[in-house]
Amino acid sequence: MPELPEIASRAAQMTELLAGKVIQEITVLQPKCLNIPAAEFQASLCGAKLGKTTCRGKWLFTETDLGRLLLNLGMGGELLLVKPDRLPEKRRLVFHFTDGEALSVNFWWFGYAHFTRPDELHRHEMTARLGPNALDVSLKDLAAAAKTQRTRVKSYLLDQSKIAGIGNAYIHDILFQARLHPLTQLITLTPDQISGLHAAIRKGLTTSLEKGGAFYEVDLLGRPGGFTMDDILIGYKEGKPCPVCSTPITKIKTGATSSYICPHCQPL
């Protein structure tokens, strides 16, 4: 499932490869992923010239001169820039550009392709509820939030309305780097622990971002990300030695989810 490193890499690449292209035609094979009827979606975006793409949480926002295209790959998917005769077999939407290239959109399970008119992004409920991107949260913001939150640190970091972009791939290593047990209450953190957590969020996400995201997602040209299982410190490595103290990593139940921790480095 894509998280901030994958989505932010994709946004940067979309700006690089798609800005300036003009949409000529849109093929809609899964109308359910749209927020408006297919004919209206097509009419709204045909002729649009693409600008910059940014992201928040799992959403990609592509500016155009006619409004915004919002994409969310859900549990994962592919955005592929191809020649129209090389379209992948599995696709839900295809944007054909006037220069002869096409952007094929596929979701493994279910995703969204939404359109908002200029100046109407604030009316888009699904993205209006999102918190700031995890890499845009300052130490001051995190410290202020921690003072008021009785929530457990893991639930807080995964709550997309508080901080957007962290999911199950990166959470385990972020908490490990911060030396925090997932069930620690945010309100109990010392200033040093908060600054350690802030640094761990940045480190946990930028290491992958700099490598183009995780290996299980591909970029617009079909190349997998460079962040592999070898780059993961303790997540999904039950029984392997902790890289700091060699205690075996354990998988524990934390509410409805499982967590990977070093019981020595991350005591409750």
User: Which residue from 244, 250, 251, 258 is in contact with Zn ion, where contact means CB under 5 A?
Assistant: 244
Check residue 175 for interaction with Zn ion (CB under 5 A): no
The SS3 of residue 214 is: strand
Residue nearer to Zn ion on the CB measure, 214 or 232 = 232
CB of 248: closest distance to Zn ion in angstroms?
9
Residue nearer to Zn ion on the CB measure, 123 or 264 = 264
Stretch 223-242: interaction string toward Zn ion, x if CB under 5 A: -------------------x
Check residue 28 for interaction with Zn ion (CB under 5 A): no
Which residues in 42-81 contact Zn ion (CB under 5 A)? none
DSSP structure class, residue 133: B
CB 247 within 8 A of CB 265: yes
Alpha helices (H) in 64-170, listed in sequence order: 125-128, 139-148, 153-158
Most distant CA atoms of the chain, gap in Å: 60
User: Which residue from 29, 144, 187, 245 is in contact with Zn ion, where contact means CB under 5 A?
Assistant: 245
CB of 188: closest distance to Zn ion in angstroms?
21
CB of 181: closest distance to Zn ion in angstroms?
12
Residue nearer to Zn ion on the CB measure, 182 or 212 = 182
CB of 262: closest distance to Zn ion in angstroms?
3
Neighbours of 140 (CB within 10 A): 10
Q: Please state, in angstroms and rounded to a whole number, the distance separating the CA atoms of residues 214 and 52.
A: 23
Check residue 221 for interaction with Zn ion (CB under 5 A): no
DSSP letters of 103-123?
EEEEESS--EEEEE-TT-GGG
Query: What number of H helices and E strands is found in the chain?
Result: 7, 10
Of the candidate spans 78-86, 89-97, 229-237, 255-263, the one that interacts with Zn ion by CB under 5 A turns out to be: 255-263
Check residue 93 for interaction with Zn ion (CB under 5 A): no
Using CB under 5 A as the binding criterion, the count of chain residues that bind Zn ion stands at 7
**76: nearest Cα among 90, 62, 64:** 90
- The contacts of residue 210 (CB under 8 Å, 6+ apart) are none
Of the candidate spans 142-150, 155-163, 200-208, 243-251, the one that interacts with Zn ion by CB under 5 A turns out to be: 243-251
Check residue 265 for interaction with Zn ion (CB under 5 A): yes
**209: nearest Cα among 153, 235, 71, 201:** 201
Interface with Zn ion (CB under 5 A)? 242, 244-245, 247, 262, 264-265
